[in-house]
Every structure is written in structure tokens, then in C-alpha cells.
Amino acid sequence: MSEANMTEQVAGDAPDRDAMTGTIRVLVAKLGLDGHDRGAKVVARILRDAGMEVVYTGLYKSPDEVVAAAVQEDVDVIGVSLLSGSHVPLFRELGRCLREQKADHIFVVAGGVIPEQDYAALWDSGVDAIVPQEARAELIVTTVRNLIAARGRV
Amino acid sequence: MNLFSQTAIEDIREKQAAWEEKELAAALGSRPEEKPAYETECGIPLKRVYTAADIADIPADELGFPGAYPFTRGAYPTMYRGRPWTIRQVAGFGNPEATNQRYKYMIQTGQTGLSTDFDLPTLLGLDSDDPRAFGEVGRVGVAIDTVDDVERLFDGIDLEKISVSLTINPSAWVVYAMYVAVAERRGYDLHKLAGTLQADPLKEYVAQKEWIYPVRPAVRLLRDLIMYSAKATPKINPISLSGYHLSDVGGNALQEIAFIMAFTIAYCEEVTGAGMDIDDFAPRLSFFFISHQDFFEQICKFRAARRVYAKIMAERFKARKPESMRLRVHVQTAAMSLTKVEHHNNLMRTAIQALGAVLGGCQSMHTNGLDEAFAIPTEEAMKLAIRTQQIIRDEINVTSVIDPLGGSYFIERLTRDMETEIWKLLDEVDERGGAVKLVEEGWFQQKLADSAYATFQKIDAGEKISVGVNRYVDETSRSAEVHIHPYDEECTQLQIDRLRAVRSGRDNARVRELLKELAEQARSDDINLLPKTIEAVRAKATLGEICAALREVWGAYAEPMIV
């Protein structure tokens, strides 16, 4: 599958976004072989309803593919949902790929089933925020907005 | 014949009108009800009270008797008096030895059937040394690469004595082949092997999302499996039609049953289209449903599903054997209902859902561990889950009377209403061209994603209550220090070492030849792929190699992007 059709535009038109409109762009991604996409799709809709431009990767993406899609789509944030228990090695690899492709300005938000005992490992891998399972829509949206605000973008 | 006489119904209607005018009006006058309207989780309106008048239109034959058409009241004439449901906790992690050890612990704790979860690479047809398997080996299930791994998985367990459920999907036909090869190697009588494969491909594309090939070849693989198993291993259920996952991905109770019945119809058409009589395989179709939070709705769901299935088999497929019309179901409590916050509450949630499954007449059950919102369950959590079922079975006397809620005005009305709504959805699937086409188009996927989002919005708005999360929140409660099932970091390397040993110790030319022959057979639609696959696993072809051989013929599945 080529990079061009790996992702699907979920909402909004790209042309007049970025610094002019300040619209936040998010890549909602599934990493590895985890097929649980209920949460990822709900989060994509929440962010879209909050006025962000959301691109969804679809399933079974390697860290490399996710970073390539994020760069190509010029997103501000990658939101990764993982429920397969393999978050520690996969986020480590995602962080490595971001640095390798000089894309570590892109924020990474983690969600899914992630036990607190693994939070430290995720921070070390370059994860910027972890959203708990029971998060309400407001928390998900403000987590993304706060990251961007801290960088001074919006 | 109707259940009540016309005069009795008229009398009840009159008295109800009087009650509404007097007692009810007075009560509503002094204190309004908490909500303007009441409904089930799937949106069926609920009255405040039901009477015989509410079920006057339901013919007595729609209820029938347990173990007889239309099976509303139960799958068997004696139900739990004859045989209690099977306590079947699913387990799988790490190397085959690790899962084997857990099995032995659970059998010792009183579990009566085995059930296997496989890791993601195994499900998706990848060997443990495939780069795509990075980080996933042995994580959410047991890792299986070759027939030797299946031997290790069931080491010391007599497969003629205990039934085994295998939660395997896109690669199911390969794991089945390995299971048969192991049974043959041990000298078992294949006709005595009892168990169930999940092997329900359509629900994978719309719900659990594990796939290898495009939709139609996946359905053909299932057809081959059903037809081969019917003759070679007649006591194995080659499929578990899994409404559970349709619910898990966001579907409501009506969608769970209607969509899984639409898939059932598609599979039956596929197999009968290949020339097999419906009565030669339908008795081995089995089901897997969720037991969710809306207690009465769920009980009625089980009853309505039995009736819908019986009618589909009798009327649409002209089945003649009663066993072809009997819906047998394994139930799992709702993982979606579990919370990380105050996770001990999950014990109560699970116990109530389990009771619902029993009152609904399940044949087998998995109760979730209280720690499943964190990770795969620990031994201690599984013990509590087994104890939950044992308490329901042995302490509270709910197993003596069959379908104890049958005849309740409310239960019969709701069962009937749900059945009606299920038929409407099934008609829509037929009108739109059938299940296979709609899976390819993403129709089911869109319906389920919409339903998931609607549920989220209800929770977010506080309309759907989650105790401890959006109601009765204890600000001082901290996230629990839960002991989490450890992941064995050595697991991947051991699988890889074993794969290397197998590849260097086998006749590689023979394996290549068999894989070539298998791929050749896959090109024509009328050859059953099971015999050649069994030959290949005996020759130590790996699961990844077999799946890859057919991927070259059929290609990979491209997911329709639906959010």
C-alpha cells in the first residue's frame, strides 16, 4: 500500500489550515497488530467534533508507517490507541522512528489499556501525554489543546 | 392458541384503566417519576408495568417447551438438571508451556472445559520471527508456530476427555489441522474430540478486526473447515458465531443478534451452495454472545435469538432435524463494563451479568477477571471468576427450574419486541444484497461505529451511569496497586529458536512442494484445502508459511476506512 492511500481524510479540508487558521491536525493511529479500533474511532470523532482535522491510519501500522503518515499529513499530534499489551516496545520504537525521521516536534498521546506501572517507560519513549480509559471527551480534547498551547502554536 | 381468553384480557384492560385513573394518577400527582421515558439499552420503550394484556397477541406456540421448536425456553429438555453449563475460562499467554500450566491450574480449580486465546501473530498468520510480530509474541495469547507447539499446549491433557475451545479466526483452518495432527499422533479417536473453533470470518471484518485475506476467500476457508470437520471430527463445532465482538465494538443487543444471524445465513448459503445438506452441518454451528449490563434485555436477547435462529433454519433453510434449529451458546460477561476505577466493583458487575446468562439459558460461560481492565487476568482473578460461576450454580438454586422467567408478562413482551426488531434488521440486510456484500462495503462497520459513538456520548453526558466513574465518584480513591500478570520477556526468543530448529530439522524440499500444491488448490474454488493443510503441518510447515502461501494467491485485505 502506498503512503498516499494509507491514510484517509476523516474531516475538514487541508488547504487553508496551519498557522493561518490554527486548526489542530491529529493523526489517530493504531500500532502493531492490535485490532481493537472502537476507542480509536470514537476519539477520532470526538476530536473532529471539537473542530480538529483528524486523519485515521486504519489498522496494523508499524511505527515506521505511522511516523511517515504523520510527516506526510503534517500533523501536530499523533494519538495512538493500544489495547494489546505491547505498548512498551511499540512506543519505544515509535519514539525512535520519530527522532530518526526528524519528526520529534510532533506530540505523541497514548491511550487504550495502559497500566500505571508502565507510564514511566512511555514517558522515556517520548510520549507527551497518556489519556486514561475512562476519560471523558473534554479531557481528551483539552489534553491535545494543552500540548499545542504549551508549544505556543494556537 | 393464545395464552389468555379474550374475556380475561378485556377484564384486565378495564381494571388497568381504573388503576391508572385512581392509584397511579394519585402517585404521579404527588411525586413524578425520575425520568420522562424508560427504555432498554437498545432503545425498546418500557412500560411501568406489564399485564397479561401486553402478551395477549403472542401465540402459545411461540414459547413452546425447552428443547423443542422454537426453543424459546431453552436449548435442551432438561437444561441444567441434565447438565450444568460448562465453566470455560479462556486463557492463553506466552509460550505453550506457560498456557499449559495455567490450564492445569484451572482444571484443578474446577473448570470443566478448556479455552485458548492465541497471540496476535498466530491469529494473523505470522510466525513469531516475522518482523510484523515485533513486540506481540505471546502477549495477548499463546504463541503457536508449528504442530509441536500445539503438542506442548496440551501436554498431559487428555483431549478425548475434555472439550477444547480455540479462539482462532483467520488462521483457524491451520490451527485445526495442527490439532487434528496432534490427536492422530497421540492415537486418539478423532470422532471423540470435542470442542469449538471460533473461525467466524465476517465478524472479524466488522468487529474484532483480525484478517489476512479478502472477504470471499476467508468465507471459502470457513466452508472448507465446516465441511471437512463434519466428517472427520463430528463432535467439534467448526465455528462459534460471535455476536460477542459485535457488541464489544459498539453494537447494541439487536445489532448483536441480527448481524450474527445475517452472517449465519451467509455461511449456510455458502456450505449448502457447495452441496452439503443443511442437516449435515447445522447441528454443529455454535454461538457466542455477550451478557451485558441491561439485565432483562440480555435475558430476552438470549430467548429471542433462539427463536429467530430456529425459524431461520426451519423456514429459510428447510432444516428437518431439531438439532439444526437448536441454538447453543457460550457466553462471556461484558469486558466493556469493567472499570479501572474501584476495580473490585467489577466482581459485582460480572456476577450479575453471569446470573443473566444463566437465566437466559447459556450452555457455557467465561466470567471476566476483575483485573481485565488492566491486563490479562492473574491466577487469583481467574479463581474468583470461576468461584462466581460456582456460587451461581451450586449455592442459590437457580438451576432447578428451566427458563424461570418464562411467562413473565414483561419478559415475554420484551422477547417478542426484540425478535420483531431483529427481523426488521435482517430484512434490511437481505434488501441491501446480503451480508458478504455489506461487509465488503463497510455497512456493518459504519452501523457499529455509529452505535459505539452514541454509547460514548451517553456515558460522557452522564445518561449512562458507570458507578465510580461518572456517578458516586470518590475523589480520594487512587488507582489500584493491582498485581499485573507478568509478561515473559524470554518468550519471543524461545519461539524463534524453536522455529529455527524446526526449519533446519525438517525436509524443506517436501515442505516447499506441499505449500506449492496447497497454493495450487486454492486457485480453484471447489477443492477442500484441509487435507493438504494437514499434510503440510505434519511435514512441519509453519503457520506463517502456510498462510503466506495463500496470501500469494488471494492477496491481502484492504480495510474500508470508516470512522
B290 close contact with A: CB closer than 8 A: no
Residue A15: band (very low, low, confident or very high) from pLDDT cuts 50, 70, 90: very low
Residue A38: which of B250, B341, B479 has the nearest Cβ?
A: B250
The answer to whether the CB of B482 falls within 8 A of the CB of A114 is no
Distance (Å) from the C-alpha of residue A42 to the closest C-alpha of chain B?
A: 6
Residue A11: band (very low, low, confident or very high) from pLDDT cuts 50, 70, 90: very low
Please give the domain boundaries of chain A with CATH numbers for all domains.
3-8+18-146 (3.40.50.280)
Residue A85: which of B373, B456, B487 has the nearest Cβ?
A: B487
Distance (Å) from the C-alpha of residue A81 to the closest C-alpha of chain B?
A: 14
Contact criterion met (CB < 8 Å) for A90 and B456: no
Closest CA to B157 of B84, B89, B99: B99
Residue A28: band (very low, low, confident or very high) from pLDDT cuts 50, 70, 90: very high
Q: What is the pLDDT of residues A61-110, one digit of tens each?
A: 999 999 999 999 999 999 999 998 899 999 999 999 999 999 999 999 99
Residue A6: band (very low, low, confident or very high) from pLDDT cuts 50, 70, 90: very low
CB–CB contacts below 8 A, A to B: 97
Residue B136: which of A86, A116, A136 has the nearest Cβ?
A: A86
| Cβ within 8 Å of residue B431, ≥6 positions away | none
For the segment A101-122, the average pLDDT, to the nearest whole number, is 94
Cα→Cα distances B556→A152, B208, B516, Å? 43, 17, 18
Closest CA to B195 of B121, B112, B119: B112
3-state secondary structure of B478: coil
Please give the domain boundaries of chain B with CATH numbers for all domains.
6-55 (no CATH), 65-460 (3.20.20.240)
Residues of chain A with Cβ-Cβ distance to B452 below 8 Å are 38, 41-42
Among A28, A38, A84, most B C-beta atoms within 10 A, so best to mutate, is: A38
Q: Which strands make up the sheet holding B236-237, listed edge to edge? A: B90-91, B114-117, B164-167, B195-197, B236-237
Phi, psi of B114 (to 5 degrees): -100, 155
User: What is the predicted pLDDT for the residue at A4?
Assistant: 38
Specify the pTM: 0.93
Residues of chain B with Cβ-Cβ distance to A58 below 8 Å are 559, 561
Cα→Cα distances A41→A37, A38, A149, B471, Å? 6, 5, 24, 25
- DSSP H or E segment with residue B553: helix B543-554
Is the ipTM value over 0.90, yes or no? Answer: no
User: What is the predicted pLDDT for the residue at B460?
Assistant: 92
Residue B140: which of A44, A85, A117 has the nearest Cβ?
A: A85
Number of helices (H), then strands (E), belonging to chain A: the values are: 7, 6
Residues 36 through 75 of chain A touching chain B, CB cutoff 8 Å = 36-38, 41-42, 44-46, 48, 54, 56, 58-60, 62
User: What is the predicted pLDDT for the residue at B372?
Assistant: 84
Contact criterion met (CB < 8 Å) for A41 and B140: no
Residues 330 through 349 of chain B touching chain A, CB cutoff 8 Å = 339-341
User: What is the predicted pLDDT for the residue at A9?
Assistant: 47
Residues 95 through 124 of chain A touching chain B, CB cutoff 8 Å = 113, 115-117
Distance (Å) from the C-alpha of residue B200 to the closest C-alpha of chain A?
A: 15
Indicate whether A8 pLDDT > 60: no
Q: Which amino acid is at B432?
A: R
- List the pLDDT tens digit at each of the 563 positions of chain B: 577 899 999 999 999 999 999 999 999 999 999 999 999 999 999 999 999 999 999 999 999 999 999 999 999 999 999 999 999 988 889 999 999 999 999 899 888 889 999 999 999 999 999 999 998 999 989 999 999 999 999 999 999 999 999 999 999 999 999 999 999 999 999 999 999 999 999 999 999 999 999 999 999 999 999 999 999 999 999 999 999 999 999 999 999 999 999 999 999 999 999 999 999 999 999 999 999 999 999 999 999 999 999 999 999 999 999 999 999 999 999 999 999 889 999 999 999 999 999 999 999 999 999 988 887 788 899 999 999 999 999 999 999 999 999 999 999 999 999 999 999 999 999 999 999 999 999 999 999 999 999 999 999 999 999 999 899 999 887 766 777 777 787 899 999 999 999 999 999 999 999 999 999 999 999 999 999 999 999 999 999 999 999 999 999 999 998 88
Rounded-to-integer distance, Cα B289 and Cα B286, Å: 10
Among A2, A5, A41, most B C-beta atoms within 10 A, so best to mutate, is: A41
Residue A152: band (very low, low, confident or very high) from pLDDT cuts 50, 70, 90: low
User: What is the predicted pLDDT for the residue at B480?
Assistant: 65
Cα→Cα distances A102→A18, A96, A115, Å? 19, 10, 29
Say if strands A53-56 and A8-9 run parallel, antiparallel, or are unpaired: antiparallel
Contact criterion met (CB < 8 Å) for B133 and A33: yes
Strands of chain A (E only): list them.
8-9, 25-30, 53-56, 77-82, 107-112, 129-130
Residue A12: band (very low, low, confident or very high) from pLDDT cuts 50, 70, 90: very low
User: What is the predicted pLDDT for the residue at A1?
Assistant: 36
Contact criterion met (CB < 8 Å) for A134 and B339: yes
Rounded-to-integer distance, Cα B131 and Cα B126, Å: 9
3-state secondary structure of B86: strand
| Cβ within 8 Å of residue A42, ≥6 positions away | B452, B453, B456
Distance (Å) from the C-alpha of residue A40 to the closest C-alpha of chain B?
A: 9
Contact criterion met (CB < 8 Å) for A113 and B120: no
Percentage of residues in chain A with pLDDT exceeding 70? Answer: 84
Distance (Å) from the C-alpha of residue A118 to the closest C-alpha of chain B?
A: 11
Residues of chain A with Cβ-Cβ distance to B376 below 8 Å are 85
The answer to whether the CB of B104 falls within 8 A of the CB of A51 is no
Rounded-to-integer distance, Cα B105 and Cα A4, Å: 50
Distance (Å) from the C-alpha of residue B249 to the closest C-alpha of chain A?
A: 5
Distance (Å) from the C-alpha of residue B180 to the closest C-alpha of chain A?
A: 27
Contact criterion met (CB < 8 Å) for B135 and A134: no
3-state secondary structure of B140: coil
The answer to whether the CB of B444 falls within 8 A of the CB of B559 is no
Distance (Å) from the C-alpha of residue A94 to the closest C-alpha of chain B?
A: 12
Contact criterion met (CB < 8 Å) for B140 and A56: no
Residues of chain A with Cβ-Cβ distance to B450 below 8 Å are none
